[in-house]
Amino acid sequence: MSLIHELTLGDVLGEHRRGRPLDVAAVDGAVRLTYPALDARVNRLAGALAGAGVQRGERVLWLGQNSFRILELLLACGRLGAVLCPANWRQTSDELGFVLGDLEPKVVVWEESEAVAQARAESPVKAAWVQAGLEYEEFLAAHPDDEPSAPVDGGEPVLALYTAAFDGRPHAALLSHRALIAHAEALLHQREMRDGFAFLACGPMFHVGTTMFVLATFLLGGKNVFTPAYEPQEVCRLIDAESCTQAFLFGPMIDGLVAANADGEYDLSSLRFVAHSPAWDAMITVDDSPWCSSKMGGYGQTEVGGMLTFLGLAPGGAGPAGRAGTLAAIRLLDAAGREVPAGEVGEICARGWSVFSGYHNRPELNEAKFRGGWHHTGDLGRREPDGTLTFIGPKLRMIKSANENIYPAEVERALKSHPSIADAAVIGVPDERFGQTVKAVVVLAEGASETEESVIEHVRGEIASYKKPRHVAFVAEIPKKGYTPDYDALDAAHGGGNYPGSS
């Protein structure tokens, strides 16, 4: 793309510095940055990162809770043509070690945590480690606020998000400036985000669901409010104090806010959001934008920047996933790459401006994902007679618990690492509160003896706690289809169900 048509995250920030000199870009605790102040810090940070060896294409890793520093680091990486990866901070030291080795970051910015300290001590990867807080401030203070002068190609990646652990380990999806800006623009439209929009980032920023709204708010020149994690009382306080228009919220989180604000201490009327319950609807301003007027969203995944389809483009449509966003095209393909007719199930494949650039360091997987010029999502779907899409489910199974994606393969890997466990398979069982919870079906090694508690405890030590089984069934044998567990048989025998897309 020629220079005259280029637009990077840095260009957006440069425009806001000029066009919104008085507007607040970021709020986080006592930190309050206007767009010019953010721009100056981003330039200092870019200088500091370059000084630490971060060049075009290199990676910077964030290991911590939500922070305005994630936005700063992303924009600073953007100015250098480098990539920021905000990773899940609550992973085990083994998982963190995998990320370090896979990503090979030049700089790691981290918040105090035992697992992070252990991963750092054990990792052979050489990186500059900068602790968020004073050390971080000193790191950037030493550099001038001149904008780096080398031009950046908007087609190059700037954000990496780990996802898709379908084969046991996650892969870092790379998203370019162009993909992030295009997706943000589509959100501006669907969410009808207007001048003055303020977003409260109370969901985890290593997840695209929160980050896509931070980026849309940034593209608009709005205000992003960061809070380390979802804490109901504090979320209520921030919505009130900062007049937030939206926050990252769904079912159980909303119930938490209703309970925390039962006495009406906080004024939440600035929030223009989805109807949920009479008490909630009375606290907020129920919004009728296409994003908010039905069940939120549509179908998406990290690899398309967030959303691929929108319900708001198909009100009253037959397919519960809506229609393709305006900057994307979809084909439902069979295993041979041929389009399946309407009404038949095929793999959801996508092309367009917001599609990712592949996974970091996975050339073979990327070739397979992008075969025939279409991104293969790994999910199955069907076109209804009115052209709307129904999401059928992952080609490989996925469990969705409290809005987190859990891949059976990853939990199975953790289970099998226990010396007493000879074989294991994982299913999702319906759960009233979380949608699904994880159930492990386990074959013990000859002579071994374990309890439900000891198995769960083992997994908790291996992977992030939210992925651990809540239930364990001990069996003599796992039914198989070829080399893989026969999940349908397991579901039937052990009460599996409520998988994403199955409703």
- Asked if residue 183 binds its own copies (CB under 8 A), the reply is no
Of 124, 144, 278, 385, the one binding its own copies (CB under 8 A) is 385
- Asked if residue 387 binds its own copies (CB under 8 A), the reply is yes
| Cβ–Cβ < 8 Å for 331, 308 | no
Helix (H, G, I), strand (E, B) or coil at 244: coil
Residues facing residue 28 across a β-bridge: 31
Helix (H, G, I), strand (E, B) or coil at 254: helix
- Asked if residue 21 binds its own copies (CB under 8 A), the reply is yes
Helix (H, G, I), strand (E, B) or coil at 379: strand
Largest Cα separation within the chain, whole Å, is 71
- Asked if residue 455 binds its own copies (CB under 8 A), the reply is no
Residue count, binding to its own copies (CB under 8 A): 61
For tokens 């226990």, what's the residue?
A: 418
- Asked if residue 188 binds its own copies (CB under 8 A), the reply is yes
Q: Which stretch binds its own copies (CB under 8 A): 5-13, 43-51, 130-138, 430-438?
A: 5-13
Q: How far is the CB of 168 from its own copies (least distance, A)?
A: 26
Of residues 48, 55, 105, 104, the one with CA closest to residue 80: 55
Q: Which stretch binds its own copies (CB under 8 A): 105-113, 123-131, 264-272, 372-380?
A: 372-380
* Helix (DSSP H) and strand (DSSP E) numbers for the chain: 15, 28
Residues 118 to 177: which contact its own copies by CB under 8 A? 155
Of 30, 121, 195, 446, the one binding its own copies (CB under 8 A) is 195
Q: What is the 3 state secondary structure string of 426-448?
A: EEEEEECCCEEEEEEEEEECCCC
Check residue 147 and report its DSSP letter: P
d(CA 219, CA 347): 32
| Cβ–Cβ < 8 Å for 232, 280 | no
Provide the mask over 22-61, with x wherever binding to its own copies is found by CB under 8 A and - wherever it is not.
xx--------------------------------------
Contact partners, residue 148, CB within 8 Å, separation at least 6: 43, 46, 47, 50, 79, 80
d(CA 215, CA 84): 14
| Paired sense of beta strands 223-226 and 24-28, if any | parallel
Q: Which stretch binds its own copies (CB under 8 A): 226-234, 249-257, 368-376, 479-487?
A: 368-376
Provide the mask over 293-312, with x wherever binding to its own copies is found by CB under 8 A and - wherever it is not.
-------------------x
Q: Return the number of the residue (197 or 280) whose C-beta is nearest its own copies.
A: 197
- Asked if residue 345 binds its own copies (CB under 8 A), the reply is no
Of 28, 39, 102, 185, the one binding its own copies (CB under 8 A) is 185
Interface residues with its own copies (CB under 8 A)?
1, 3-7, 11-12, 14-15, 18-23, 155, 178-179, 181, 184-186, 188-189, 192-196, 219-221, 290, 312-315, 323-324, 326-331, 342, 351-353, 355, 370, 373-375, 383, 385-389
